[in-house]
Amino acid sequence: MLVMRLHRCGERLREEAIARPDPGAGQVLIAVEACGVCRTDLHVVDGDLPHPTLPVIPGHEVVGRIAAVGKGVAGLAIGERVGVPWLGWTCGACDYCRSGRENLCPRAKFTGYTLNGGYAEAMLADAQYCFKLDPALDPAHAAPLLCAGLIGYRALRLAGDGRRIGLYGFGAAAHILAQVLRWQGRDAFAFTRPEDLAAQDLARRLGAVWAGSAELPPPEPLDAAILFAPVGDHVPIALRAVRPGGIVVCAGIHMTDIPTFPYRLLWEERQIRSVANLTRADAEEFLALAPKAGIETTIECHHLSDANAALDRLRAGAVTGAAVLIPQGAH
C-alpha cells in the first residue's frame, strides 16, 4: 500500500510502498477514504513537537471503512465507516483516565505522532478510539471534523457561555466553530492576517458578525477569545480584546513564546487557559451535534502523493478552510 512517511523532522515526507498490516487484538484495519491535513501535522513534520515515533505516517483526521477486525473487537463490522482522531490510546488506569480526563493521560498515544496515521491507503487503529460515522457522509468533507472540529469544540467549552467569541486564526477549526456559534445563537468575531481577505470573506459567509485583522481591536469587548493561530503575540492582543472576567483559550498544541505583558491586561479576573488533546466524550458529543448544527466544511482536495504540497500550502497560509488528502481509488 502507498504511504507518505516522515523519517526525520524537518525533511519532506517520503512516498513509499509498504505491506498492508494485519490488525492485532483490539485493533481494526481501516481502508482510508480521506485524511485531513492539520496544523498539528505541520508541527510534527517541522519538529515543533518532541519525540515523535520515527519513522511515522502523519495524519489524524481520518475517515475510512473497516477492512478487517482483530481478535476481541466488538461493535465494529467490516464495511462500516469510522473516524479516527488525534487521541489513539490511553492507559485507562491513571488518575486522569479514571476521572474523565483521559486527554491528560501521561501514557497516551497519538495518531500520526506516536502511532501511524492516515497519510496512507490503510491504517491500523485501536477499535476503542474509532467513532462510527454516517455512511451517507462525504468522506472528504467529514475528515476535518475529526480534529479541527473536535479541538474547536473542546476549546469553546473551555471558553464558557459568553455571547461574543473571538476566533484568532480563521482556518480549519475556526471555520467549523463559527457555524457552531451561529447555530447556538452566539456572535463570532473572526481575526485573520491583515492580507487574508479570503478568510475574512469566508468568516462572514459562515455567520461571523465581524471579520478583520488580528492587529485590530474588535468593535465591542469580547466575552472570550480562542486562539487557533500558533502565535504567542496574540495572547496579549486577545487579553486587551476581552472584557473583565473574560477568558482567552489557547487551542493549539504548539505556540510561539508568549511575550511579556503588563499585569493590567490580566487583572479584573481575566483568564488564560490551554486545550490539550481531546476525550472520547468530546468526540461523541461533537459528532452528534455537527449534523444538527448543519456544519459544512470548506475544503480543497489533494491526492495522497501530493501531501508535501498540501503541507506547504498550509504552512504558507494559502489554504482557505481545510486541506484533505484522498488516496488513489478512494471514493
Same domain, 88 and 187: no
> Of the candidates 112, 65, 241, 113, which has an alpha carbon nearest to the alpha carbon of residue 167?
241
Same domain, 18 and 136: yes
What is the domain range of residue 229? 149-274
Overall average pLDDT of the 303-316 stretch: 97
Distance between CA atoms of 128 and 73, rounded to whole angstroms?
Answer: 9
Same domain, 108 and 170: no
Task: Say which residue the cell 472540529 belongs to.
Answer: 149
Asked if 70 contacts 27 with a C-beta cutoff of 8 angstroms, the reply is yes
CATH number at residue 230: 3.40.50.720
Same domain, 155 and 141: no
Out of 274, 290, 309, pick the residue that ends a domain.
274
Same domain, 127 and 14: yes
Same domain, 27 and 101: yes
Q: Report the Cα 266 to chain-centroid distance in Å.
A: 28
Confidence of residue 328 (pLDDT cuts 50, 70, 90): confident
**142 within a domain of the structure (yes/no):** yes
Distance between CA atoms of 288 and 273, rounded to whole angstroms?
Answer: 26
Same domain, 204 and 319: no
Q: Quick count: other Cβ atoms within 10 Å of Cβ 135?
A: 9
Please check the confidence at residue 250 and state whether its pLDDT lies above 90: yes
**290 within a domain of the structure (yes/no):** no
Confidence of residue 331 (pLDDT cuts 50, 70, 90): low
CA dihedral 37, 38, 44, 49 (to 10 degrees): 180
- Predicted pLDDT at 270: 98
- Predicted pLDDT at 288: 95
Please check the confidence at residue 247 and state whether its pLDDT lies above 70: yes
Same domain, 30 and 140: yes
CATH number at residue 83: 3.90.180.10
Overall average pLDDT of the 189-198 stretch: 94
End-to-end CA distance of the chain: 16
At 129-144, the pLDDT tens digits run: 999 999 999 999 999 9
- How many separate domains does the chain show? 2
Average pLDDT of the residues of the chain: 96
Please check the confidence at residue 329 and state whether its pLDDT lies above 80: no
What percentage of the chain carries pLDDT values higher than 70? 99
The predicted model scores a pTM of 0.94
Same domain, 168 and 44: no
Same domain, 56 and 99: yes
- Predicted pLDDT at 330: 67
Overall average pLDDT of the 88-100 stretch: 98
**288 within a domain of the structure (yes/no):** no
Overall average pLDDT of the 218-239 stretch: 97
Overall average pLDDT of the 99-121 stretch: 98
Distance between CA atoms of 293 and 179, rounded to whole angstroms?
Answer: 7
Same domain, 158 and 55: no
Cβ-count burial 94-127 (b if 16+ within 10 Å, e if not): bebbeeeebbebeebbbbbbbbbbbbbbbbbbbb
